[in-house]
Structure 1
């Protein structure tokens, strides 16, 4: 349900100057999900500002995103932790001093 979402969000928000890969995910199931289930996967601008800051010199950065999966009653039925790899592509890195 959540695979690839943060990868595509990163590519969309950061553009073609970044390598973005799904690195790993962990799911914790808390109770059966019956009926309609929902995942709210919003990410604020500050997160992408942090990613730009951490990768500005060409370093890799692995960021964890947390998502609650809820049922129609609003109860959390599972939690997902997704780790995404970010790195500024060599062509976009600043020239060495």
Structure 2
């Protein structure tokens, strides 16, 4: 998401967590930003509109076992000075 750094505002808007079991030790959170999802975000924000994409995040322990499932909603909007340029 380095592309978004200087061109977009991006932050967490909402989230919910479904805890599966206690997490002990090192945990890893995984989510995928596919080319299709990225294209959808860019298309939805091209005219300066706000967009609220949702992501499923899986949190796993060091054994690869599922510890929690997170639903994240992001706020994404093209920076004012960039609107209409991309």
Q: Pick the TM interval, shorter chain.
A: 0.7 to 0.9
Q: Relative to 1, partners in 2 of residues 1:75 and 1:91: Cα closer, same or farther, differing over 3 Å?
A: same
| Among 51, 67, 71, the residue aligned to 2:41 | 51
**What is the TM-score when the length of structure 2 is the normalising length?**
0.80
**What is the TM-score when the length of structure 1 is the normalising length?**
0.73
| Among 64, 71, 85, the residue aligned to 1:81 | 71
- For 2:71 and 2:3, locate their aligned partners in 1 and report how far apart those are by CA, in whole Å: 20
Does 1:67 pair with 2:57? yes
State the Cα RMSD in Å: 1.9
Residue 75 of structure 1: how far off its partner (Å): 1.9
Does 1:28 pair with 2:10? no
Higher helix proportion (structure 1 or 2):
1
- For 2:84 and 2:32, locate their aligned partners in 1 and report how far apart those are by CA, in whole Å: 30
Structure 2 unaligned segments of length 5 or more: list them. Answer: none
Structure 1 unaligned segments of length 5 or more: list them. Answer: 1-8
After TM superposition, the structure 1 stretch with the greater mean CA deviation from structure 2, 38-47 or 53-62, is 38-47
